[in-house]
Amino acid sequence: MTISKGDRLPSSTLVHLGDAGPAPVALADKLSGRKVVIFAVPGAFTPTCHSAHVPSFMRTKDQFTAKGVDEIICVSVNDPFVMKAWGEATGATAAGITMLSDAESAFTKAIGMDFDAPPAGLIARSKRYAMVVEDGVVTHLNEEASPGECEISAGEGLLDVM
């Protein structure tokens, strides 16, 4: 079942790579009593994700903060080492975007946002989407029709529906 507006996100554990190494992050702890934006990409360092999706949230971070968003989280089905390197390479980490790994694709599968594209070498990856979550409940969800598109799931596209 694909997650929808009004649904509560499932309990999930993602991974963040910090100075002490990989550390589990309980998504429920990030969401409890908070307004959070979560956007997901098919893969770190892939063209649209790298040149369009992440930069769109870096450009719009202050606008989200002005709308009461406590945190912006980028999720990808990559390992935490790749997510850390990608956050550094794009400037997302320095801009205050939280880069979390869903290496096993457990969260992505639990919300029905997984897909495979073997010709492109993408297996068990995430569809491209962005959502606003308030206290664990999805209040806005913008899913792209194709993983190569980045319009409604970009920072500007999500701001348009808030």
Active site residue: 40, 41, 49, 113, which one? 49
Render 9-22 in DSSP notation, one character per residue: PPP-EEEEEETTEE
User: Helices 80-90 and 54-66 sit at what angle, rounded to 10 degrees?
Assistant: 80
Q: Residues, the chain, total? A: 162
Cβ distance 13 to 26 under 8 Å? yes
49 counts as catalytic: yes
How many Å is the maximal CA-CA distance in the chain?
42
Tell how strand 21-26 and strand 13-18 pair up: antiparallel
User: Among all residues, which ones are annotated catalytic?
Assistant: 49
